[in-house]
Amino acid sequence: MTLSQYIKDIRNPHLFLGIDGGQTKTLCILGNEEGKILSIGKGRGLEHILSPRGPEVAKLAFQEALSSCLFPYDPSSFEFECAFLGLTGVSRPDSEEAKSFTEVAKKIIKAKRIFVDSDPSIALAGAFFGKEGIIVIGGTGSVALGFDGTRYSRCGGFGYLFGDEGGGFQIALQAIKIALKYEDACHPPTLLWEKIIKNSSFSSIEEMVRSYYAGKIGRDQIALFTKSVKEAAEEGDRFAQEILLDAGRELAKLVDCVYRKLNFKGKIPTAGLGGVFNISLVKKSFEKNLDPSLYEIKEPEFPGVIGALIRAYQLAGIPLTSSLKENLKNSALKFIGVGLTHP
Amino acid sequence: MTLSQYIKDIRNPHLFLGIDGGQTKTLCILGNEEGKILSIGKGRGLEHILSPRGPEVAKLAFQEALSSCLFPYDPSSFEFECAFLGLTGVSRPDSEEAKSFTEVAKKIIKAKRIFVDSDPSIALAGAFFGKEGIIVIGGTGSVALGFDGTRYSRCGGFGYLFGDEGGGFQIALQAIKIALKYEDACHPPTLLWEKIIKNSSFSSIEEMVRSYYAGKIGRDQIALFTKSVKEAAEEGDRFAQEILLDAGRELAKLVDCVYRKLNFKGKIPTAGLGGVFNISLVKKSFEKNLDPSLYEIKEPEFPGVIGALIRAYQLAGIPLTSSLKENLKNSALKFIGVGLTHP
């Protein structure tokens, strides 16, 4: 069923909105009360909401995502039952960031209820269809989040200087430190040096380090050297391998921390999300470092944007039944490969 | 002999200048060709020479230090045999920084020869009276430097993100990471948490971390928590103790690296300089981690500013005899407790 058919078919459609707002794009998804996904839209990425341009960028991102989701209809002609937004830069639903985003969202989205939470919270809801479980995200940074059916609990997520263990930036940083020591004649030979040089525009690691301190390259560029670590590990470099094994261990520790904080008993579903889990050595080490009597390692069921829709259903009191889940799965399939608008 | 007596006594005094330019102050020392220190002066600290204000600040610092050293004489009426400057922000004598400092120095100091090198290089010359040896500096950062009688070789010194192992900033950072994990319920109890909170204006470590990322506190303030680690270790906290033992190990590794790079054979004089060596656990661990068949651990003989004077003698071809050394020692004693000008 397409959006236009659906709207024609019924007088008072009960519509729900899920939004996943990241740094590179903002996704928007529209579902009916049975879990049928009617449309998907996309807008620009967000900036930190407390930055000078933050509110204006958020407004544009929400407008673009919503308009592209509801095209060719006028967004202002829709009133949603519930809209749930999982947004980058939000740590908790009661934070200053969440309040500022909520203010902006209320100006763009007409809904009976609007909720804002962190992006990990929707990834978690997506991974386990709104049920209990723990996810750990290993992207550029790292953070773990768990839900016991009532409470959420987070571990890690303290950024590039004080945390982010197991994330891409720390993996790359460890590698650069070793390559720098090798260049400084303080470390045994390692493929890391040549892999980093190959993937960079620098002729020495020391030059790269100077460029970083001089503000010529940023942490995003540093994080890209995760690729060099992967390559060196695949070619048998034991220092590269140890960095990746250690990353898996650190990500598992974050999961253990959440398990303890939520006083979980017995076997809990767990998933590792984010780019670093595409590195097989990290994934293997992560799984090896989780006690099999405490964790059932699962692939995530839905992506974050559908997690946002699931949380919209939850908060509107729609029961998360197996038929709702089936509807989500089947209707989501339509949107594979058809671009980001309703088919 | 005072400066005025000396100048009255001889027609053509052969005078040598050593300058130690740091971030907080610039010291200047005047010696005759026999190693008699005639005067000491002090000026403001330096900024990085390649920063916009760098050259102007350096000019003022050199003027102040030289004027206070030669008071009440007119600095422009002196021509020195050789002036040696060991300056913060200089990595090597052939660096861009050294060239810029040399240009500024030539405008202020009338001398047959002017040389600029790093501040560790004069610390090393001071520690072993210009002879072979290795020093490691554990201040906020860390760096090791060795001299084999001909060549210099450095290890480490790559700053807060990529290096500085064993330095105060890394010690404090490790402690904050542990305290943050404890606060996040991901770490066993540790005194580090309460010691850091006690020595800060924050009610939580997470608040401190947020303040850092928001640019409200800097790395200098982070480094101050080395004090908290020392306190916690003294009261028996094993995590604090482990951080300090590890710092000593890392500083010893830097020394080993220099030893290898200079192809030293047999027993080489070694000294640990800087604030972290005032922490007994760091000092003990450093000494324990150095192979006693390779290193003779010594207290430094002279401070960096006298090291600069020693290098001025060296470069002017004055032999570093035991009588010169005795003269330096005896005449330096006069300046203890008499303020920073000639007595």
Question: pLDDT (tens digit, 9 = 90+) per residue, A199-250?
Answer: 999 999 999 998 898 888 988 899 999 999 999 999 999 999 999 999 999 9
CB B132 within 8 A of CB B268: yes
Are B214 and B278 members of one domain?
A: yes
- Indicate whether B338 pLDDT > 60: no
In which band, very low, low, confident or very high, does the pLDDT at B12 lie, cut at 50, 70 and 90?
low
Is pLDDT larger for residue A93 or for residue A342?
Answer: A93
Q: Do A81 and A34 lie in a common domain?
A: yes
Q: What ipTM did this prediction achieve?
A: 0.82
Does residue B13 sit within a domain? Answer: yes
What is the arithmetic mean of pLDDT over B6-18?
75
Range of the domain at A264: 131-300
Tell me what the mean pLDDT of segment A62-73 comes to. 92
Asked if A108 and A191 sit in the same domain, the reply is no
Question: Chains A, B: CB contacts under 8 A, how many?
Answer: 66
Q: What is the pLDDT of residue A254?
A: 96
* B217 CB within 8 Å of a chain A CB: no
Locate the DSSP E strands across chain A. 15-21, 25-32, 37-44, 82-87, 114-118, 133-138, 142-147, 152-156, 268-273, 295-297
- Contact: B159, A209; criterion CB under 8 Å: yes
Three-state DSSP at B31 gives strand
Q: How many percent of chain B have pLDDT more than 90?
A: 77
Res A93 pLDDT > 70: yes
Q: Are residues B229 and B323 in the same domain?
A: no
Looking at the structure, tell me whether residues A217 and A194 fall in a common domain: yes
**What would the mean pLDDT of B114-139 be, rounded to a whole number?**
96
**Residue A87 near residue A48 (C-beta atoms within 8 A):** no
| The residue count for chain B | 343
- Check whether B341 has a pLDDT greater than 50: no
Q: Is B290 a member of any domain?
A: yes
**In a domain? residue A340:** no
Inspect the interface and report whether the beta carbons of A253 and B206 lie closer than 8 Å. Answer: no
- What is residue A319's DSSP assignment? -
Mutate to test the interface with B, among A142, A174, A186 (most CBs of B within 10 A): A186
User: What is the average pLDDT value for chain A, to the nearest integer?
Assistant: 91
Please indicate, yes or no, whether residues A288 and A328 belong to a single structural domain of this protein: no
Q: Look at B185 and A261 and tell me if their CB atoms are within 8 Å.
A: yes
Q: What is the pLDDT of residue A72?
A: 85
Query: What secondary structure does DSSP assign to B95-148, as a single string?
Result: SHHHHHHHHHHHHH--BS-EEEEEHHHHHHHHHTTTSSEEEEEESSSEEEEEE-
Confidence of residue B334 (pLDDT cuts 50, 70, 90): confident
Neighbours of A30 (CB within 10 A): 25
Q: How many domains does chain A have?
A: 2
CB-based contact B250:B283 (threshold 8 Å):
no
B175 confidence band (pLDDT: 50, 70, 90): very high
Residue B133 has pLDDT above 50, yes or no: yes
Q: Which residue has the tokens 């939470």?
A: A117
Verify that A135 and A51 share a domain, yes or no: no
* Residues A229, A199 contacting (CB under 8 angstroms): no
CA pair distance A39, A342, nearest whole angstrom = 4
Choose from B97, B173, B181, B257 for mutation: most chain A CBs within 10 A. Answer: B181
- Give a yes or no: residue A338 inside a domain: no
Does the structure show a pLDDT above 80 at A186?
A: yes
Distance of alpha carbon B302 from alpha carbon B314, whole angstroms: 15
Cα atoms in the 13 Å half-sphere on the side-chain side of B64: 17
- List of chain B residues whose C-beta atoms are within 8 Å of the C-beta of residue A184: 155-156, 257
pLDDT at B86: 96
Give the CATH number of the domain where residue A7 resides: 3.30.420.40
Residue A342, pLDDT score: 44
What distance in Å separates the CA atoms of residue A79 and residue A112, rounded to the nearest whole number? 7
Q: How far is A76 from A7, CA to CA, in rounded Å? A: 15
Residue B131 to residue B311: CA distance in whole angstroms:
10
Facing residue for A162 by CB, picked from B161, B186, B209:
B209
Nearest C-alpha of chain A: how many angstroms from B161?
8
Q: Are residues B138 and B266 in the same domain?
A: yes
Any domain includes B229: yes
Nearest to A185 among B184, B253, B257 (CB): B257
- Closest approach of A174 to chain B, Cα-based (Å): 8
Say whether both B8 and B156 belong to one domain: no
Which three-class secondary structure string do you get for A85-126?
EEECCCCCCCCHHHHHHHHHHHHHCCECCEEEEEHHHHHHHH
Same domain, A145 and A28: no
In Å, what is the CA distance from B182 to each residue of A264, A286, B201, B239? 19, 22, 19, 11
User: Is B320 inside a domain boundary?
Assistant: yes
A 132-171 near B (Cβ less than 8 A): 155-156, 158-159, 161-163
Contacts of B185 in chain A (CB under 8 A): 155, 257, 260-261
Residues from chain A that touch B156, judged by Cβ atoms under 8 A, are: 184, 186
Chain-centroid distance, C-alpha B133: 16
Residue B342 lies in a domain: no
Is the domain of B167 the same as that of B279? yes
CB of A222 within 8 A of CB of A211? no
Task: Express each pLDDT in A311-339 by its tens digit.
Answer: 999 999 999 999 999 999 988 887 765 55
What CA–CA distance (Å, rounded) separates A121 from A145? 7
CA-based nearest distance A108→chain B, Å: 29
What does the block give as tokens for A69? Answer: 């989701």
Chain A CB contacts of B162 under 8 Å are 173, 176-177, 180, 209, 212
Peptide bond into A189 cis (omega under 30): no
Task: Check whether B342 has a pLDDT greater than 50.
Answer: no
Of A161, A184, A206, the CB nearest to B155: A184
B84 and B142 both lie in a single domain: no
Mean local confidence (pLDDT), B146-172? 94
Q: Is the pLDDT of residue A73 over 90?
A: no
User: For A311, how many CA atoms within 13 A lie in the half-sphere containing its CB?
Assistant: 34
Q: Which residues of B touch A209 (CB under 8 A)?
A: 158-159, 162-163
- CA dist A171 and A191 (Å) reads 15
Q: Under a CB-based contact definition with an 8 Å cutoff, are residues B163 and B156 in contact? A: yes
B positions 78-137 inside 8 Å of A (CB): none
Instruction: Assess if residue A217 is contained within a domain.
Output: yes
